[in-house]
Structure 1
C-alpha cells in the first residue's frame, strides 16, 4: 500500500540523517532487504536491477535503478528508516522532484518498506510534526531552503 496521506506524519529521530553522538547511533535500513526488494521488483516487470549506490556521507539515502523496457526507474531508500520514494533522475538531494510510485511498488511494501507517494513527499513542513528536529537540523533546513517533507528525508546536507 502506498502511503499518500498527509495527516499525522511525524518525523522520527534520524529522519534528516543527522544525529547527536550523545543519543547513540541512528537505526540503519537493511541494505540486503532493499536489494532483495529491488530484484523482486525487476522480476515483476521483466526487467533488471541497474546500479545500486549505497548511502555515503552526506547523503541520507541509497539509490538504485530498476530497468524495464520502458526505461529506468530511480528508487530511493532512506538509509535510516524503511522509506522508499521514486524519482526521475539521480541526484544527491531532492526537494519536490519525486514521481508517483509505479504499479510494482508493492514489492517494497511486501518487503516491509513504506512507499511514500509524491503527494506526501510534497507536504509542506508546516503540515508535518517536526518537533524532533534539533536546532542544527533547522539551521540546515533554512540554509538549503527546504520546504517539504521529501526535502527533509532525501538530502545531502553536511
Structure 2
C-alpha cells in the first residue's frame, strides 16, 4: 500500500483519528458549523434532523440523521477535517457503504465543509497518497482489513 504518484486524494495528519502526543493535538472540525449546516440541509430536504451523535473515542466522526421527503439519510462529519459523507445505515465504522450525496448536500459546501461522494470514498488505498500514515496506523489498516479511502476516514479503531 502506498503511493504511485497518480493519487487524487492526499491524506493529511489526523485523517485516521490517530495522533502522537509529541506532534500536538489534531485539528477539530467546527461542530457548530456542522450542526448549522445540518439544519439548513434538513430544511432544504423538507425534513428535520434526528439522532445527532457527537464523535466519541474511538470513532472518528459525528453522525446525524436527516429525515426528509425523500427518506432518511445518515450524515457523517469527520471530527478532524471538514469532510461530509452519506450512508444508508448508522454504523461505528464504514468501508465502502457510502452513498452519492443527496441534492441538498450543497448546504454543507455552502458552509465551508467538503462533501465526499460515494465513488471517491470507495477509492482503493493504493490510489490514495498515504505517505502521512505511520506504523501504528498501518497496523490498524491491516488489522481491520481496510482497503478504501472511506474506511480510513470513517473508522472506529482503538
Q: What corresponds to 1:123 in structure 2?
A: 123
Q: TM-score, normalised by structure 1?
A: 0.95
For 1:17-36, list aligned pairs within 5 A: 17-36=17-36
Q: What corresponds to 2:78 in structure 1?
A: 78
1-structure distance, mates of 2:81, 2:19: 13
Query: Contact 2:85–2:115 at 8 Å: present in 1 too?
Result: yes
* Cα offsets for 1:16-70 (capped at 9, x unmatched): 0000000000000011000000000011121111111000010000000111133
- Count of residue pairs the alignment pairs up: 153
Q: Structure 1 stretches of 5 or more lacking a match?
A: 1-5
Q: What corresponds to 2:132 in structure 1?
A: 132
CA drift of 1:82 comes to: 0.2
Q: TM-score, normalised by structure 2?
A: 0.95
Q: Structure 2 stretches of 5 or more lacking a match?
A: 1-5
Give structure 1 regions of 4+ aligned residues with deviation exceeding 2 angstroms: none
2-structure distance, mates of 1:45, 1:128: 32
